[in-house]
Amino acid sequence: MSVRRINASEPCARTVASLDDNITVADTGNSTVLYNLPRDIDAIDDVVGTPRRGGFGRRLRQLFGRGA
């Protein structure tokens, strides 16, 4: 799994995201939309390559009360 970033309208971005399981970050003009995010926070760390001792996943776990 990898991360893809596109600039497109929301319907177009949704269609592109539905073609495979990669995480898609879509800049739709007025907003940023995320598609195909894994349900497991650790899986997000694996995809974006953040170190286990800190970073995005740790902050998410703290935010949602799943420890550090």
**Domain span holding position 29:** 1-37
Please list the ranges in the chain whose pLDDT falls under 50: none
The phi and psi torsions of 32 (rounded to 5 degrees) equal -120, 130
Cα–Cα distance between 19 and 32 in angstroms, integer?
19
Show the tokens assigned to 53: 């001792």
Do 46 and 33 fall into the same domain?
no
Give yes or no for a contact between 45 and 27, defined as CB atoms under 8 angstroms apart.
Answer: no
Do 29 and 3 fall into the same domain?
yes
Give the pTM: 0.59
Do 1 and 31 fall into the same domain?
yes
pLDDT digits (tens, 9 = 90+) for 34-49: 898 888 877 777 777 6
Do 42 and 61 fall into the same domain?
yes
